Amino acid sequence: MRRLENKVAIITGSSRGIGKEVAKLFAGEGAKVIINYVGNKAEADQTVSEINTAGNTAFAIQADISKVEECTKLFDETTKQFGKVDILVNNAGINIYKLLKDVTEEDFDRLFNINVKGTFFMMKEAATKLENNGRIINFSTTIKRLMVPTYSTYTATKAAVEQLTRVFAKEIGSRGITVNSVSPGPTDTPLFRQGKTEEDIRRFESMAGLGRLGTPEDIAKVVLLLASDEASWISGENVGANGGVA
């Protein structure tokens, strides 16, 4: 039997990048997946088409998880479509590459609203609407321990997500639900390459013991493990998926 047979998964921000690879991998393992997007319906529809054409099941739902009412909408529409929710992957997130002295209040609020507020209120929905023995996987980052200039606000949001993960794991564990976070290292996505030179890319590659950038598929495999029965005794943890970045 496939590892996620008969499960229903919401993956926020899953029309492209790491989220898309998680969705494709989950679907291939038997889950019905919700492709969540904010603005790019064409990319979301393309991802749904790829999954359904492969003989699996996906459905797209537009929702801006930085807004509390849309977190509720995302859970409720998923339940209406597939009858339940077993797995929540809080993948949606953004970055703004600025030195701390240049970060505006608008920048700060935007990052925290999506990266922290969105994760927080999606977990709040999960507290009453996720099935018993479900799985929640949040996204942090390995960059938070590398002290890279221009990442101050982003790493602050991800440190907050890790702490929320640990506390919520204790709060909801009596229902058999596990809550963990994944910290990718530098991963080859359009978001990561944004504003970087080839010299910058080589420098990030050299930080990894394995000598390369990660791929979205590398990260998706770790998320799949945490979503599966094999990880039923792992909760409140942050798992580094970074190729040996120090």
The 10s digit of each residue's pLDDT in 199-241 is: 989 988 998 999 999 999 999 999 999 999 999 999 999 999 9
Average per-residue pLDDT in the chain? 96
d(CA 128, CA 98): 38
pLDDT value at residue 215: 96
pLDDT value at residue 246: 66
- Considering the entire predicted model, what is its pTM? 0.95
φ, ψ for residue 10 (rounded to 5)?
-100, 130
154 is catalytic: yes
Give me the CATH code for the 8-230 domain, please: 3.40.50.720
Q: pLDDT grade, residue 195 (50/70/90)? A: confident
* Strand 178-184 to 135-139 pairing: parallel
Query: Residue 172: is its pLDDT beyond 90?
Result: yes
